[in-house]
């Protein structure tokens, strides 16, 4: 009797109920395969070489478009900031910038150097050679050599096209997220959330942050070589980062959570690179 009731109960279920339940939780592989094929094509068809280091990088943005975006951002920042028009510090910044730009690779930039009145201990360089130094970093730099370390680093970021490379990495992460979302689309909501959350954490701490720290280290090295070519003293670099660390105090996060290497890491790297930098300086400069 119970068997008969069970049979009638099953016959009363909606058509396809068993098939939908059987598919629940299935992982679809084809979106991952398509993304893998796209990744291989995209990655190997958009390779460039970074000056000095020779590293292969992924960049898909046209250089002229990148420079136009840099100029647009620079004008917006200047319009929203207090620009110091002249004076000794402006002359010093522009002279340091001119000397470093003269010995760096020529990417066709129209260099421009400005000083912004702000307590920020910061500086930046945008594509196209648009550079700004905030007054808040001047006391930390202390000397022209210290300021050359800062400006050489920022100029290196622009020449190495780190901004365009980060945009390409973020594009791949977005496409990968879409592919994974399609692959787990038939799974239950909690599983999808867990998988996508793990992807977000993994890409942030396993891809984007390490790449950002590598960019910072690469800009440190390139900037050190540039300032040595321009006859500034590379030995100012470790002391600068000691002062930067003292100024930051305990505000800096742990290195694995940061976009930048720790001050200790940077000082160690500068010390490792110092023999090469001094050799370059001796080759380009007559003064000791």
List of residues 6+ apart from 285 with CB closer than 8 A: 231
Query: At CB < 8 A and 24+ separation, what contacts does 206-212 make?
Result: 207/169, 207/173, 208/166, 208/169, 208/170, 208/173, 209/256, 209/257, 209/258, 209/259, 211/165, 211/166, 211/169, 212/166, 212/259, 212/260
Give the residue from 217, 95, 208, 85 showing the smallest Cα distance to 151: 95
Distance between CA atoms of 27 and 39, rounded to whole angstroms? 20
Q: Reduce the DSSP state of residue 148 to 3 states and report it.
A: helix
Query: What is the helix (H) or strand (E) element at residue 58, kind and residue range?
Result: strand 56-58
Distance between CA atoms of 95 and 147, rounded to whole angstroms? 11
Beta carbons within 10 angstroms of residue 64's beta carbon: 11
Distance between CA atoms of 138 and 196, rounded to whole angstroms? 44
Annotation says 165 is catalytic? no
**287's tokens:** 């003064």
Q: Which of 95, 119, 154, 216 is catalytic?
A: 154
Query: What is the helix (H) or strand (E) element at residue 190, kind and residue range?
Result: helix 189-203
* Angle at alpha carbon of residue 240, lines to 155 and 154, rounded to 5°: 10
- Could you tell me the end-to-end alpha-carbon distance of the chain, in angstroms, rounded to an integer? 103
Which residues carry out catalysis? 154
């Amino acid at each position: 009797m119970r068997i008969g009731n069970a049979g009638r109960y099953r016959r009363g279920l909606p058509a396809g109920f068993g098939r939908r339940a059987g598919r629940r939780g299935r992982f679809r592989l084809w979106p991952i395969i398509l993304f893998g094929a796209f990744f291989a094509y995209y990655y190997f068809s958009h390779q460039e070489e970074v000056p000095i280091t020779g590293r292969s990088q992924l960049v898909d943005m046209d250089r002229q478009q990148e420079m136009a975006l840099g100029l647009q951002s620079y004008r917006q920042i200047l319009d929203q900031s207090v620009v110091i028009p002249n004076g000794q510090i402006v002359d010093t910044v522009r002279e340091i910038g001119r000397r470093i730009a003269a010995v760096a690779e020529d990417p066709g930039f129209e260099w421009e150097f400005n000083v912004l009145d702000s307590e920020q201990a910061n500086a930046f360089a945008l594509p196209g050679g648009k550079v700004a130094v905030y007054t808040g970093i001047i006391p930390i730099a202390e000397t022209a050599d210290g300021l050359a370390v800062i400006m050489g680093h920022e100029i290196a970021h622009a020449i190495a096209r780190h901004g365009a490379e980060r945009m390409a990495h973020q594009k791949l992460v977005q496409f990968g997220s879409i592919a994974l979302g399609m692959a787990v689309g038939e799974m239950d909501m909690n599983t999808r959330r867990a998988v996508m959350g793990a992807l977000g954490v993994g890409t942030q701490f396993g891809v984007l942050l390490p790449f950002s720290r590598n960019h910072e280290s690469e800009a440190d090295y390139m900037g050190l070589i540039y300032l040595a070519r321009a006859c500034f003293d590379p030995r100012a670099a470790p002391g600068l980062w000691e002062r930067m660390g003292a100024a930051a105090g305990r505000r800096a996060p742990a290195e694995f959570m940061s976009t930048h290497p720790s001050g200790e890491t940077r000082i160690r790297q500068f010390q490792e690179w110092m023999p090469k930098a001094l050799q370059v300086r001796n080759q380009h400069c007559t003064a000791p």
